[in-house]
Amino acid sequence: MAEGLARRLGTGDAVVVGLSAMIGAGVFAAFAPAAAAAGAWLLAALALAAVVAYCNATSSARLAALYPESGGTYVYGRRRLGPLWGYLAGWGFTIGKTASCAAMALTFGAYVAPGAARPLAVAAVVALTLLNLYGVQRSATVARVIVVLVLAVLAAVIAAGLTGESTPPVAPGVLAGPGLWGVLQGAGLLFFAFAGYARIATLGEEVRDPSRSIPRAIGIALSVTLVVYTLIAVAALRTLGPSGLAGSRAPLADVARRAGVEWLVPVVGVGAAVASLGALLALLLGVSRTVLAMARERDLPGALAAVDPVRRVPRRAEAAVGAAVVVLLLVADLRGAIGFSSFGVLVYYAIANACALTLSRAEGAPVKAVPVLGLVLCLVLAFTLPPASVLAGAAVFAAGLIAWAVRRRRRA
């Protein structure tokens, strides 16, 4: 049996990892495209995204408590639905989130020095991968510092937006009635700002007392994130208005500027760079643990299943993920080309909800309506994404199915 990872993380550490993934760089940019889709109904889109996140988090928490292993929905899918469904969940998460790692790294580089974004992005990935190689506890400590800094910046923006002058621009094309489709698209865009709680589940093998700590950590992280996002949305709508928010390239900086708090504008830039690093750190941790789980089951090369005997971390999986992200950074600009990642995450959570539907009461099954609603809404949001994102996501899953079939045939 494969050597297990060390359980060094407490509930507080798990909460911090989840917060660093959820309150990451997306919060500095996600509200503008969501407002372009949902208009004045942005808060309704946020509420819908929160409902989906709650359903997914509830299902994930119950499953993580039952199966406190690395891999998240990859493990749950294999145990509850069969090897193929677990593989599809792991494939979608690994490929999609590897691209997200590259996007977060590029976001960091763009905020620090736009002219040298790519080399800075590579340096960030290498540095954080090396940090992870020295143990998950150090990574959690760094994540804690990042979360505190980002929350402080967001608190300042919220205070400025809620107390400063409200002077939204008046435009004839105010986005007041986007219809149900617009609200759904807005919810789909905002959902991914909540998706970091998956990182808590994928660290299940490294959390102490996982049956209690993981559900508690997921609930706390999601609740804090919802409060922060709601306050940001209210402050942005009050200060910029729906059309002003939709047209902003740096929404939170524009909130500070419009509120007359000029000193806060560069601080927001620093906060975005720091948040990008926090999200990147959490993503690298989560993806490497899913790679570890898939390697253990030989859905990926078995060499990646090795665990360092001293530090008890999956060094080969972590190094492989870091190398893959660096390669992506060298060959492509992924900031505008990771729509399939969004599609993959929603499919990942749809499978998690389907797994939760198979739980019995003795296994801690949630109320049936929760995973049913989560499953339906995940699929609805996935297929209301822009057509290019849906097609790219479908192509990635088709490639994964072919790879799975070829590997199964060789092993037969």
Residue 128 lies in a domain: yes
Quick one: average pLDDT of 27-55?
88
Q: Examine residue 230 and state whether it is found in any structural domain, yes or no.
A: yes
Number of neighbours of residue 373 by Cβ within 10 angstroms: 17
Q: Residue range 255-284: average pLDDT?
A: 87
pLDDT band at 390 (very low <50, low <70, confident <90, very high): confident
CATH number at residue 311: 1.20.1740.10
Q: Of residues 24 and 131, which shows the higher confidence score? A: 131
Structure confidence at residue 357 (pLDDT): 95
76 is a domain residue: yes
**Mean pLDDT along residues 264-273:** 89
In a domain, 3, yes or no: no
How far, CA to CA in Å, does 177 sit from each of 39, 173, 184?
A: 7, 10, 13
Residue 170 has pLDDT above 50, yes or no: no
In the chain, pLDDT over 70 holds for what percent of residues? 84
Q: Residue 172 — very low, low, confident or very high, per pLDDT cuts 50/70/90? A: very low
pLDDT, tens digit (0-9, with 9 covering 90-100), for 321-366: 999 999 988 876 655 555 667 788 889 999 999 999 999 988 888 8
Q: Is residue 259 part of a domain?
A: yes
Write the DSSP assignment of 83-112 as a string of letters: HHHHHHHHHHHHHHHHHHHHHHHHHHHHHH
Whether residue 2 is contained in a domain is answered as: no
What are the pLDDT digits (tens) for 109-167? 877 887 888 899 999 999 988 887 776 555 567 777 888 888 899 999 999 999 877 65
To the nearest whole number, what is the mean pLDDT of the chain? Answer: 82
Residue 4 lies inside a defined structural domain of this protein: no
Q: Give the model confidence (pLDDT) of 98-109 as tens digits.
A: 888 888 888 788
pLDDT at 377 over 80: yes
Cα–Cα distance for residue pair 82/91, rounded to 1 Å: 14
- Answer yes or no: is pLDDT of 282 > 50: yes
Contacts of 126 (CB under 8 A, 6+ apart): 322, 326
Give the model's pLDDT for residue 373: 96
Q: What is the mean pLDDT of residues 290-309?
A: 84
Specify the pLDDT at position 388. 80
Provide the domain count of the chain. Answer: 1
Name residue, tokens 């306050």: 231
Sorted by sequence, the CB contacts under 8 Å of residue 108 that are 6+ apart come out as 25, 120, 121, 124, 273, 276, 277, 280
Tell whether the model's pLDDT for residue 40 goes beyond 50: yes
Provide the phi-psi class of 306: left if phi over 0, else alpha when psi is between -120 and 50, else beta: beta
What's residue 178's pLDDT? 65
pTM: 0.80
Q: Could you tell me if 291 and 61 are in contact, meaning their C-beta atoms sit under 8 angstroms apart?
A: no
Distance between CA atoms of residues 197 and 208, nearest Å: 17
- What's the one-letter identity of residue 151? L
Domain around 148: 11-411
Question: Does 144 fall in a domain?
Answer: yes
pLDDT average, residue stretch 226-235 = 92
